Amino acid sequence: MAAGRPSLSNRYPGYDVLAKYGSSSWNDQTRRVIDERLAIRADAHRFLTDAEWVTLKAVCARIVPQPPERIRPAPIAAMIDRKLAADAGDGYRDARLPPLREAWRRALHALDAEARALRGCLFSEMSCADQDALLSAVQRGEAHDVSWGNMPPELFFAKRLLHDASSAYYADPHAWNEIGFGGPASPRGYVRMNYDRRDPWEASEAHPGREARALRENTRVGRR
């Protein structure tokens, strides 16, 4: 983190995107989408087996560690499981990867197999340091258990694991506060489109020396 720059969770002080809920920034369709996202239970899964689910949760916790002060962590694993349950592909995929469901199932089984070979336990039972080391090996393409089949581990990491985990994280409304995102711009849209310009209903970033100003401005943003 650059010197003098606030942490990600404090970059938009006083900003709460959900304060826009009843404002003119969102319409009923947007509110329905928000409600559906907020209703996702972090401990619920529909597609994966119990064993696969435990591994997925452990993987997500290492790929996207969440701020400890967050009251409601983004339900990343649950959102990925919902995507798998719906078999909701992205409309494209690298031809070297199998379809969505097969790719995830193969990888979760392979991670547990790699963990057993390394430490004699499941991935979820490894220490955080060992989990990180194994995931780094996967990222480098240095995982070799037969469970991977013909799926390149490094390709799964780059094109499936990072994509799905980060997409799920930033699809959660509570994560939007960290990046000053105002949610779907419907029906309001944007007016000030030039570089480094901000509409009055967008969050104000706390650049060094203007933290108090950002706090004042963000207190008003939620009412717009």
Q: Model confidence at 8, in pLDDT bands (50, 70, 90)?
A: low
Cβ neighbours around 32 below 10 Å, total? 11
The per-residue pLDDT for range 29-85, each reduced to its tens digit, is 999 999 999 999 999 999 999 999 999 999 999 999 998 878 889 999 999 999 999
Mean per-residue pLDDT, 158-182: 94
CA gap 165, 212 in Å, rounded: 34
Q: Are the C-beta atoms of residues 119 and 60 closer than 8 Å to each other?
A: no
What percentage of residues in the chain have a pLDDT greater than 90?
A: 70
Q: Which two tokens stand for residue 123?
A: 């991935």
Nearest to 59 by CA among 114, 135, 167, 141: 135
Tell me, letter by letter, the H, E, C secondary structure of 175-217.
HHHHHCCCCCCCECCCCCCCCCCCCCCCCCCCCCCCHHHHHHH
The per-residue pLDDT for range 198-219, each reduced to its tens digit, is 888 889 999 888 889 999 888 8
Nearest to 108 by CA among 45, 25, 32: 45
Q: So where are the chain's domains?
A: 8-25+182-221, 42-174
CA gap 113, 165 in Å, rounded: 21
Average pLDDT, the chain: 91
Q: Model confidence at 5, in pLDDT bands (50, 70, 90)?
A: very low
Cα 161 to the chain's mean position, in Å?
A: 11
Mean per-residue pLDDT, 176-185: 89
Model confidence, pTM: 0.89
Amino acid at position 14, single letter: G
